[in-house]
Structure formats: C-alpha cells, structure tokens
Homo-oligomer: A and B are copies of this chain.
C-alpha cells in the first residue's frame, strides 16, 4: 500500500512535511493544494489496500494475481479474446499479457489459438478448468467488494462512484 504523504488523524498533512516542502522545494505552503494531495493519496491507498486484500484473502487460494484474475474474468465473460484486445481491456502492455497468458497456460486455465485467416492474431481461450476456478473465486471476490464498500452508505457509494467516473472520463483514465 504505497503512499507518499503522512497524514494525521484528521487527514491533515504533518506540519513537519509542510515545512520541508516549503524549504526544500521552494514551494510556499500557500502554493500547496492540500485537497488535491488528499484526494490523490487516499484514492491510491484504498486501491492498494483492496488489491492486497483480494490477493491475500481470495485470489491466493488459486495462486492468481489481480491482473491474472482480471484477464481470466474477461475470458470467463467473453470465452475467447485476442491478445491485443486483452491488452486494451486491462490497459497493460502486450508484453505483460504475453507473460500472464503464459502463466495461465501453464496452470491450464487458458490456451492459445492462432487465427487461421490472419495468422498474426492469437486468441486466448478459457478452459473448463479455468471456468471452474472462476466459479469458485468470483462469489468470494464479490463478497470482498461488498465488504470493502460497506463502510459507505448506499447513497455515499453512488456519490463516490459518480465522482470517480467523472475523474476517469475527464482525465482519460
């Protein structure tokens, strides 16, 4: 759960940090936007926390990483997806997809198949064993999501989702 700043209990940046930034970065304290710092830091911390929680409590049961699980989930939904499409969907590099697919293939959860017409294209296809793994993991994964979000009321959940989607859209994430 990597984080940059140190906050106190009220979510305020420590005075010592403010002073250091002021002196060392030659940035007067009134040039620092504390709200922006807080938004970015807290989003990242929650994201890392939930990734770690899921990998530790759910995905480790099947020896899968978050990204492996994401890819296997896509294949569970779509059955067969081109390597290139997987890279776009999960927004990791094609090299990473290549590696992860290799790992999933070693576990016999997926297999590869070259397109017969355009032989540059490779499809990745989920196996029955892969489907069984997802049938086992998905309900537990979703339970984890519910737990994590349960710290907010339904209204708050809708609200935070709306704000996050705006950030995604306008920042082109």
* A-to-B contact residues, CB < 8 Å: 1-6, 11, 16-17, 20-21, 24-27, 32-33, 35-40, 42-53, 66-67, 69-70, 73, 76-77, 89-92, 131, 134-135, 138-139, 142, 145-152, 154, 156-168, 170-173
Copies in the complex: 2
Q: When chains A and B are docked, how far (Å) is the Cα of A26 from the Cα of B173? A: 32
Tell which of B17, B42, B69, B76 touches A161, judged by Cβ atoms closer than 8 Å. B42
Contact A167 to B152, CB < 8 A, known contacts A76-B24, A90-B2: yes
Main secondary structure of the interface of A (DSSP, over half): helix
Contact residues in B for A145 (Cβ distance below 8 Å): 33, 36-37, 39-40
A19 to chain B, nearest CB (A): 9
- Please, which residue of chain B has its CB at the minimum distance from the CB of A136? B25
Q: Is the CB of A36 within 8 A of B157?
A: yes
A80 to B142, CA, bound (A): 42
